[in-house]
């Protein structure tokens, strides 16, 4: 009986986008609009519609603000995420041209988890310290 598992080779393996692919994607989106990603991906040998869409919306779209994130923005993301959960569209009203979902998953969430863990360790350390007096 043959083993059925993950394919060893995929047409759409993860690899870095090169400048030529970026330029081609920009031209295609300018010509046909930011839609029908599966159809647009047929112009690329090793890219899926999802990869093209994510590259456009997260990196290449000229409406994206690529300036450095501020501490205030990070705090606002953390506050809104705590209040609204993962309602990224609702949170987007507080930011102009920012990929807040990406920022949350790549930096803010990790920082919040680290600070929470640090607070728990500090608190439990204080509690055990007080208990030994």
Answer yes or no: pTM beyond 0.85.
Answer: no
Q: Across residues 85-98, what is the average pLDDT?
A: 94
pLDDT-derived band at 14 (thresholds 50, 70, 90) equals confident
Tell me the H-state helices in 1-133. Answer: 19-32, 37-41, 49-55, 71-84, 88-92, 100-103, 109-131
Domain 19-60 is classified in which CATH homologous superfamily?
Homeodomain-like (1.10.10.60)
Residue spans per domain, the chain: 19-60, 71-127
pLDDT digits (tens, 9 = 90+) for 18-50: 999 999 999 999 999 999 999 999 999 999 999
């Amino acid at each position: 009986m043959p083993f059925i598992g993950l394919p060893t080779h995929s047409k759409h393996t993860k690899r870095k986008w090169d400048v030529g692919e970026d330029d081609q994607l920009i031209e295609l989106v300018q010509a046909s609009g930011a839609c029908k990603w599966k159809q647009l991906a047929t112009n690329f040998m090793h890219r899926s519609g999802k990869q093209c869409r994510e590259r456009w919306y997260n990196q290449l779209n000229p409406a994206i603000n690529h300036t450095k994130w501020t501490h205030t923005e990070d705090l606002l993301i953390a506050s809104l995420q705590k209040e609204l959960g993962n309602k990224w569209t609702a949170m987007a009203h507080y930011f102009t041209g920012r990929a807040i979902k990406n920022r949350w998953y790549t930096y803010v969430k990790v920082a919040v988890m680290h600070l929470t863990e640090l607070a728990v360790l500090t608190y439990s350390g204080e509690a055990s310290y007080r208990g030994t007096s």
